[in-house]
Amino acid sequence: MRMSFDEYFLRMALLASERATCQRLKVGAVIVKNKNVLATGYNGSASGEVHCIDEGCLMRDGHCIRTIHAEQNAILQCAKHGVNVNGASIYVTHFPCLHCTKSLVTVGIREIVYLNDYRNDEYALYLIERSGIKLRKVTI
């Protein structure tokens, strides 16, 4: 039986998460528009910086400040290459954090499809609902 597009793109997100360089949580993201992949992202360091897997996490207030989140990384790849994400969907291995949610709302993502709950923030849920973004948790 042929896999659905949801499963296909979520498996891509899982594959992208294998590239993550922060050991605290490996997250992958895929931005899709009209069933075409626009960009992928995973959590890791800024270009040219050392990685958590090499030197450990750089912690401040309980968070690794070295890491760029997967959703942000995918958005930044689109920005770097001039790709418009307005109206696109994002497939993510984990529920987006509040900061990533704010970014997704701001760039015009219309749908968030995710696999795993992870510290689902109430304000993030409010922003998603208020913005009219379709939110779906899917199992594969």
Marked catalytic residue, from 71, 111, 122, 129? 71
Q: Say whether 57 counts as a known binding-site residue.
A: no
DSSP state of 2: P
Q: Say whether 22 counts as a known binding-site residue.
A: no
Q: CB 48: neighbour CB atoms within 10 A?
A: 5
Tokens 């896999």 sit on residue: 3
The CA distance from 86 to 122, in Å, is 24
Q: Say whether 69 counts as a known binding-site residue.
A: yes
CA torsion through residues 27, 18, 64, 37, sign? negative
Task: Examine the residue annotation and report whether 122 is marked as an active-site residue of this protein.
Answer: no
The CA distance from 92 to 33, in Å, is 14
Annotated binding residues, written as ranges, equal: 69, 97, 100
Annotated binding residues for Zn(2+), written as ranges, equal: 69, 97, 100
Report the catalytic residues.
Answer: 71
